[in-house]
Amino acid sequence: MIAGHDARPLVFLDVDGPLIPFRTRLGQRRDSSSDVAGPASGALGNPLVDRLDPADGGKLLGLGCQLVWATTWMADANEVISPRLGLPDLPVVEFPDADDEPERGLHWKTIFLTRWAAGRTFVWIDDETTDADRRWVAGHHPGRALVHQVDPLVGLSDADFSSIRKWLA
């Protein structure tokens, strides 16, 4: 094992859809102007950050995995999302700027995240994955992998966390 290598499973996190659902969550305030957790979302440049559920941070940390941002938010996820979820700065997958089209039917992140995992067990939490991504990962990744699709209208739910914890066990 490489010195300093983290052997925990990876959890690749997408932001838009899983953490910021496309609909306001039930019971959630629509106006964050009085939000004590941070500046009003308008100050952050994205009004949808109000849809983040701060409890998701603790639930993600409770998985006992190495959390990694796998989002087009890139490093901005550490500046905007992590503090609102109570997460530390996380590693960020730096996606290449390649104009290569993914293999037919695959999400553009699939091949790159599988390579980034380098054989480690991983969970990929995203809202845009399909069975094609699951099949490709199963056929090309030597370790265990869960490609977990989240309903983008709802965001991460207790049922999602339950499924992920069950798979990790």
Q: Report the SS3 class of residue 148.
A: strand
User: In Å, how far from its chain's centre is CA 42?
Assistant: 23
- pLDDT, tens digit, for every residue of 65-122? 999 999 999 999 999 999 999 999 999 999 887 666 667 789 999 999 999 999 999 9
Name the band, by pLDDT with cuts 50, 70 and 90, for residue 25: confident
pLDDT score recorded for residue 40:
42
Q: Which domains does the chain have, with CATH numbers?
A: 10-20+52-168 (3.40.50)
DSSP 103-136: STT--TTHHHHHHHHTT--EEEEESS--HHHHHH
